[in-house]
Chain A
């Protein structure tokens, strides 16, 4: 029997969602201040309007739904999934007011793409966008990469138990410190240190490449936020091709790889345990899959012979591959070149890389290396069981931060999420084909959206059908939250209608 949600459920969900909306509204003050610094008055007003609207909604929700009760698992999951939708709707207001997005739906698409660290974009005339709006695009990916809820956890949520449920709902489970709120604060501290170092490095590279210092550091901050969050936004319409610089590409590859690494691993390295890097199943799996998918890409590119020299093929091929595998979405070629010049085999290699994604507990999307490692290890053990004598004891172990004995329920969970991702990639592909796009193009774009990668072969444009925009929004949202929060929200609505 399905139970209808109680008033207390709605109050809890409303109260905590309100808190997260208040937290989100305050983040919009950052681009507003930047707008004022660059004397961009109208953009600053756009952010002030959006902040005020978000604050009003947040305050009303916390007032009407005031409660002192802590969240249970269902409520925590629903708060997360609803908060991401609310964040998208509110963060899209300043973008829509700027006039650079064709419709409010386009602005919502951009913000979902930002928060989920996807990087697909529908902006028009990006090269004339204000500093404030441009910063906001990148800042949303930085916020979304760490998790919208983490911000609220840092400042507004007191109940540790409920906080942990929301934290898990955002597809994170690292507990670096005993208290989840302290963990959230520590994650932000580490990120801010990385942000400062990354901005300085990219800024210096930009100046060395002939950019004006102010632009070099602004671009440095934006590109760092996009790279470390494995989002694919860039401040100019040509994406990373704008810089025409090998050094810029090398630095961004390093940042993308750092962003795609498990945050627990970062913590281990920070605390001096460098050996974990080489022992960890995720880093090993990532190395293997990068090599395999790159091999496919190289064979594919070699077949079509688009690039005249091996070094050029390596530079272009590896950059797009690293960008796709880490689910960043930076590009040093035009979207159309994927279709016209890469050939089917290279595209399939790239699609596989995007689908697999980065490491768990990172900002990367996709199936994730830990799940792939678990499934591969389970398969290996099953084969061993068949080959070895029946009495032989097969030890199922893997190393992820510590030695773990592999249990069936872990393999089942990994397989379930993997299948969910494959289904999601398939749904988007069908939607693309429904609107008349070829199979491979549809598969490419769908995988890119659902795995939060952000590479585009040219389907994602302001002129694409609204239905496809909505499909990609749902794909980005469910892919980023890794399904559980979204399934819980659907279950909640079903219970509200059918429950007794």
Chain B
């Protein structure tokens, strides 16, 4: 019975949660403190498991916000964003905390549910031929300068 009530409550809060950007949350932190919000962005950096929970940082292109979520939910994350990887894009539904008491005053979101909007991928890096050619041209100039300097010194 308790589970059913909490599920109904959760569904209710999720239904009424509004999608917000990181800038909106940071700039209006007082207004959204303790409220259910929906936040969408890319997972960046590491998934940091702490006991039964985990920290992930989600960047929506403006800022990144820390998400405190269940370890099982974190297990759904396959790609985290860095130079060579585009991280999974997630929709987080959770409670926004302006100065979280549980986490030493950090501004964070305690996730109640996550939904993968798009999976991440490895970004293949192609050689920039302009840069490569420029390296060779400069190398030739450098060799010429070096030879010129050495010849002058030997005289």
Contacts and interface: CB of A to CB of B under 8 A. Distances in A.
Given A62-B149, A307-B105, A316-B104, A238 B66 contact: yes
A48 interface: yes
Contact of B146 (A41, A59, A215, A332): A59
A341 B59 contact: no
User: For the complex, would chain A's binding face be called helix, strand, loop or mixed by DSSP majority?
Assistant: helix
B149 A45 contact: no
A242 B43 CA distance: 12
Interface string A59-91: 110110000000000000000000000000000
Interface in B67-118: 68, 81-84, 98-99, 101, 103-108
Interface string A300-337: 00000011110111011000000000000000111011
Given A42-B131, A130-B83, A308-B101, A237 B64 contact: yes
B106 A332 contact: yes
A242 B106 CA distance: 10
B127 to A, nearest CB: 6
A236 B64 CA distance: 9
Given A128-B83, A244-B48, A45 B66 contact: no
Given A45-B131, A244-B106, A316-B99, A59 B149 contact: yes
B61 to A, nearest CB: 8
Contact of B142 (A56, A128, A129): A56
Nearest to A316: B105
A40 B45 contact: no
Given A40-B83, A45-B135, A315-B105, A337 B26 contact: yes
A333 B104 CA distance: 11
A210 interface: yes
A49 interface: yes
A55 B27 CA distance: 46
B20 to A, nearest CB: 15
Nearest to B82: A128
Contact of B106 (A56, A241, A309, A336): A241
A492 B41 CA distance: 53
Contact of B55 (A56, A128, A244, A336): A244
Interface in A315-363: 315-316, 332-334, 336-337, 340-341
B48 A336 contact: no
Interface string A22-66: 000000000000000011111101101100110110011011000
B14 interface: no
A42 B125 contact: yes
A7 interface: no
A139 interface: no
B126 to A, nearest CB: 8
B144 to A, nearest CB: 9
Given A42-B127, A45-B128, A49-B135, A315 B104 contact: yes
Contacts of A237: 44, 59, 63-64
Contact of A334 (B59, B103, B107, B149): B107
Contacts of A337: 26, 29, 107
Given A56-B141, A312-B99, A316-B99, A210 B46 contact: yes
Contacts, number: 136
B121 interface: no
A282 B103 CA distance: 35
Contact of B101 (A309, A316, A341): A309
Contact of A242 (B57, B98, B103): B57
Contacts of B1: none
A266 to B, nearest CB: 31
B10 interface: no
A41 B125 contact: yes
Given A127-B82, A129-B83, A306 B104 contact: no
Contacts of B132: 45
A212 B101 CA distance: 27
B142 A52 contact: yes
A127 B81 contact: yes
Contact of A48 (B45, B63, B135): B135
A209 B50 contact: yes
Interface in B121-154: 125, 127-128, 131-132, 134-135, 138-139, 141-142, 145-146, 148-149, 152
Contact of A52 (B64, B104, B139, B148): B139
Nearest to B131: A45
A193 interface: no
Nearest to B134: A49
B17 interface: no
B107 A40 contact: no
Contacts of B48: 209-211, 243-244
Contacts of A238: 57, 63-64, 66
B27 A336 contact: yes
15 contacts: A42-B125, A49-B135, A59-B142, A127-B57, A127-B82, A129-B83, A131-B83, A210-B49, A210-B54, A237-B59, A238-B63, A242-B45, A244-B103, A315-B104, A333-B107
**A-B residue pairs, 9 tightest by C-beta:** A210-B48, A52-B138, A312-B105, A127-B44, A45-B131, A130-B83, A210-B49, A316-B105, A211-B46
Given A210-B49, A312-B101, 11 more contacts: A39-B125, A46-B131, A49-B134, A129-B83, A210-B47, A236-B44, A236-B64, A238-B66, A241-B107, A242-B66, A244-B55
Interface of B: 26-27, 29-30, 44-50, 54-55, 57, 59, 63-64, 66, 68, 81-84, 98-99, 101, 103-108, 125, 127-128, 131-132, 134-135, 138-139, 141-142, 145-146, 148-149, 152
